[in-house]
Amino acid sequence: MVSLESLIVLLPLLGAVIIGLGGLANAAFRKQEGLIGWLASAMVLIPFGIVLTRFFGYQNMPLSFSLFSWMQAGGLDISFSYKLDDLSLPMMLVVTGVGALIHIYSIGYMHKDPGFYKFFAYLNLFIFAMSNLIMADNLVVMFLGWEGVGLCSYLLIGFWYTDMIKAEAAQKAFIVNRIGDFAMLVAMFLIYQMFGTLDFSLINAEAANPVAEAAGNRYFWITLLVFVAATGKSAQIPLFTWLPDAMAGPTPVSALIHAATMVTAGIYLIVRLNPLFLASPEVLMVIVVIAALTSVMAALTAIAQNDIKKVLAYSTVSQLGFMFMALGAGAFTTAIFHVITHAFFKACLFLGSGSVIHAMEHAHAAEDPQDIRTMGNLGKDMKSTSLTFWISTLAIAGIPGLAGFFSKDEILSSLFFNGFENQVYFAVWAVGLFTAILTAFYMTRLAWLTFNGKARYKTGAHIHESAPLMTIPLWILAVLAVLGGYIGLPYLIGHGEFHLFNHWLGDLVVNRDLHHALEEHAVFEYLLLALAFIVSIGTVLFARNLYSKHDLAADDKVKGFFGKFYGVMAGKFFWDELYDTILVRPFAWIGSKLLRPFESDGVDGIVTGAGSAVAGIGEVFRRLQSGLVSNYMVLISGGVLLVLTYLIFG
C-alpha cells in the first residue's frame, strides 16, 4: 500500500508527530536543536527528491495513489487519494523545494528560541497540510488541507504572542479565513448537488462537456463562492486584512506560508477547477475587477509603509492581485507561472528581511528592528543578504531577463488581448500597468533605504552577516529568481512554441483562447514588450536616483506628490476601521442589546445570593417565585402554542 509517492504526504506528518510529541514529553529532546532542525528538514527534502524524480520521469500520465478509503456514505466514496499530475507536480516542487530551503534557513533563524521544537513541528505539519491541499484528488481531502494550512498559519502567527490583544489579531486571521471556509463549504456542497461527486477529474470532465456548457451559467454560484473562498485564503478584497497582521509571526513563516505557498492556494484551486470558471465569464469579470482593485490598493499602501515586513506583506497582496488578474483573464497557466516565479523572489525577499531583522536585533541597532527608517547602508556589512535582496527586488520589479518580467508581462499581455473582446480588460490592463510601476517604485525604495544610503541605526552597533545556514538558501532562491522565468518565454518568440510551462500544463489546464487576437494584433505584442522594458527599468532608475539623492527625505517628496491621499495610503485605506464599523460593532450591539433578554442567565443572582448554604434553599425558592422558572414555562408554553397553531392552521 505504501508506495514511494505516499511518503510525500506521510513523511512531513511523521516529522510533525515525532517532533511535537517528543518535545512535549521530553525536556532534553527540546534542546536538541540540530537533531530537530535537520530531522524536520529531511522530512521535506526527501519528498522534494521524490517529486523531482516524478517530475523528470513524467509521461503525461497522472500518478494516482491512495492511502485508504476515508468514508463511504450513500454511494459517495471519499478516499485519501492523491494525484501527481501536470498541475500538482510543479506546485509540489515549489512547496517542497522552497519549503525545504526555509526549513534549513529556520535552523539558523530560530536558534535558541524556547519554542524551537514547536516551530518545526508546526512547519512540518504545514507542509503536510499543503501537500494534501495540492495533491488531493477530491474536494474533501483538498478541504482537509485547506483547513490544515489555515490552522498552521494561525498557530505560527501566534507563535510569539504572549499577550491577549495580539492573540486576538491571530484570531482575526482565523476568523477571516472562516468566512472563506464557509464559502468553500457551500461551494463544495453545491458541487456535490450538481455533479453528484466531489472528485476533481469527474467534475472537470463533466464541466468541460459541451452539452453541459450549453446550459448557460449554471456554475455562477459555485464559481463565485469558490472565488470568495479564494479571497479569504489568498488575501484579496474584502478578506485580505489578516495578511499584513500575520507578519507578527516569525519571518520564515511569512516567507513560506504568507508569501510562497499557502496564500496561493486560492489561485491553485481556481486553476484546478478551470473548466467551471471558463464557463462562467461573469465571475471571471468579477475576479479581474476585484483583483485589479486589490492590486493597486495594496501597492499604494506599500509605498507609505516603513516596516520592512509590512511593505513585503502589501507587496504580496498586490502580487496575488496580479495572479487573480491572470485568472480573471482566463489565463490560468499564466497565473500558476506567476505563482511559481513569485514564490522564488518573494521567499527570497522575506528571508532576506529576516536576515536583516536578525542582524538588527543581535546588534541592538534600533528600537524597532523592522523599521527601515532606522536602517540604511546595511549592505556594507551584509553582502550576501544585500545582493540577493537586490536581485529579487529587480525580479519583482519586472526588470527584463529576470523571473518576474516574464510572468508579469504575460499577465499584462493576456489582459490587454482580452480587451479586444471586452473593453473592461483594457481598463484593468491600465491599472495593472500602473501597479507594476508602483511595484518597481516601492521595492526599489525598500531595498535602497535598507541596504544603501546613509546608516541611520545607532552608531557603534555592529551589524553582522547571518550564518551560511541562512545565506545559502538566500542564494539558491536568488538564482531561481533570475532563471525561473525562462520556463515561459513570451508568445512572440515562436508563437508560444517555447513556452515550456504552457506546454507542460496544456493538457490539463485550458486557457481562454486568445490565439486569434494575438495573431491579429501581433503588433501590440511588440509594443507591450517595449513598454514593459521602459516602464520597469525607468521606474527603478527613477526611484534609485530619488532616494540616493534625498535619502529618507525623498519620502516627503512622495508625500507631496500624493497630497492628502497619502494619509489614506499610510492608513492602509482604513479597512480595519471599516470592518469595525460595519461588522464588529453591529455584532457587539446584537449581542449586548438584542440577545440579552434571551440569555436570562441566573449566574449573577446566584453569585450574589450564595451567602450561606442555610439561606440557600430559601434563596432558590425566592428566585423561583421571582419568576425565572415560571418565565421559562411561559416561554415553553408560547413555543407549544406556536407549534400547535402552525400545525392546525398553517
Partner 1 sequence: MNSFPFSIAELALSSQYVLPLLILLGAGLLLMLLDAFGAAKFLPWVAGAAFLLSAGVAWTQGAPAGRLAFFGMMETGGIAPIVHAFLCLSGLLTLFFLSDYLDRHDRHISDVYALLVFAVLGMSLMANAHDLIMTFIGLETMSMCLYIFAALFKTELKSNEAGLKYFLLGSFASAFLLYGIALIYGITGTTNFSLLASPERIEIIQSQQTVFYVGAGMLLVGLLFKVSAFPFHFWTPDVYEGTPTPLAGFMATGSKMATFVALGTLMHQLDMFQNTKLLSVVGLASLLTMIYGNIVASRQQNIKRMLAYSSIAHSGYVLLGLCASQSGMEAMLFYMFIYTLMNIGAFGMLGMVEHDYPDTELENWRGMGQKAPLFAVAFSLFLFSLAGIPPLAGFMGKYEIFIAVIREGLLLPAIVGILASIVGVYYYLRVIVVMFFSKSGETSALLPSASRIPLAGAAILVVLVLVLGIFPSLILNPITQALSGLSQATAVLP
- List binders of partner 1 among 150-169 (CB under 8 A): 151, 158, 161-164, 166-168
Q: Pick from 152, 170, 42, 149: which is nearest to 91 by CA?
A: 149
Q: Pick from 308, 314, 240: which is nearest to 569 by CA?
A: 314
**Residue span binding partner 1 (CB under 8 A) among the ranges 82-90, 382-390, 418-426, 618-626:** 618-626
**Residues forming a β-bridge with 73:** 76
Cell of 531: 513598454
Cα 119 to the chain's mean position, in Å? 19
Count of residues touching partner 1 (by CB under 8 A): 72
Of 563, 601, 604, 608, the residue at the interface with partner 1 (CB under 8 A) is 601
Q: Pick from 123, 348, 320: which is nearest to 239 by CA?
A: 320
Which 61-100 residues touch partner 1, going by CB under 8 A?
68-74, 76
Give the contacts of 158 (CB within 8 A, at least 6 positions apart): 166, 167, 170, 249
Place of cell 517532533: 19
Q: Does 580 bind partner 1 (CB under 8 A)?
A: no
Of 178, 362, 373, 559, the residue at the interface with partner 1 (CB under 8 A) is 178
From the CB of 456, what's the least distance to partner 1, in Å?
33
* Phi, psi at 282, each rounded to 5°: -60, -45
Determine the Cα–Cα distance for residues 183 and 203; give it in Å rounded to an integer.
Answer: 18
From the CB of 368, what's the least distance to partner 1, in Å?
22
**Residue span binding partner 1 (CB under 8 A) among the ranges 284-292, 468-476, 557-565, 591-599:** 591-599
**Residue span binding partner 1 (CB under 8 A) among the ranges 84-92, 231-239, 455-463, 587-595:** 587-595
Q: Does 185 bind partner 1 (CB under 8 A)?
A: yes
Nearer to partner 1, 383 or 596 (CB): 596
Cell of 506: 496544456
Of 591, 625, 626, 627, the residue at the interface with partner 1 (CB under 8 A) is 591
Of 3, 4, 24, 215, the residue at the interface with partner 1 (CB under 8 A) is 24
From the CB of 249, what's the least distance to partner 1, in Å?
12
**Residues forming a β-bridge with 533:** none
DSSP secondary structure letter of residue 430: H
Which 511-530 residues touch partner 1, going by CB under 8 A?
none
From the CB of 200, what's the least distance to partner 1, in Å?
17
Which 413-452 residues touch partner 1, going by CB under 8 A?
none
From the CB of 162, what's the least distance to partner 1, in Å?
5
Strands (E), 413-517: none
Nearer to partner 1, 493 or 620 (CB): 620
Maximum CA extent, the chain: 95
Which 122-151 residues touch partner 1, going by CB under 8 A?
140, 143-144, 147-148, 151
From the CB of 184, what's the least distance to partner 1, in Å?
10
346 neighbors 255 (Cβ within 8 angstroms): yes
262 neighbors 173 (Cβ within 8 angstroms): no
Nearer to partner 1, 175 or 530 (CB): 175
Q: Does 28 bind partner 1 (CB under 8 A)?
A: no
Residues in the chain: 650
Nearer to partner 1, 231 or 388 (CB): 231
Q: Which helix (H) or strand (E) holds 81?
A: strand 76-84
Q: Does 27 bind partner 1 (CB under 8 A)?
A: no
From the CB of 72, what's the least distance to partner 1, in Å?
7
Q: Does 192 bind partner 1 (CB under 8 A)?
A: yes
Which 621-650 residues touch partner 1, going by CB under 8 A?
623-624, 628-629, 632-633, 635-636, 638-640, 643-644, 646-648, 650
Q: Does 181 bind partner 1 (CB under 8 A)?
A: yes
573 CB neighbour count, 10 Å cutoff: 16
**Residues forming a β-bridge with 494:** none
Which 532-571 residues touch partner 1, going by CB under 8 A?
none
Of 14, 52, 93, 179, the residue at the interface with partner 1 (CB under 8 A) is 179
DSSP secondary structure letter of residue 457: S
* Phi, psi at 71, each rounded to 5°: -160, 150
Q: Pick from 354, 361, 349: which is nearest to 446 by CA?
A: 349
Q: 216 exposed, middle or buried (CB, 10 Å; 0-12, 13-18, 19+)?
A: exposed
Q: Does 583 bind partner 1 (CB under 8 A)?
A: no
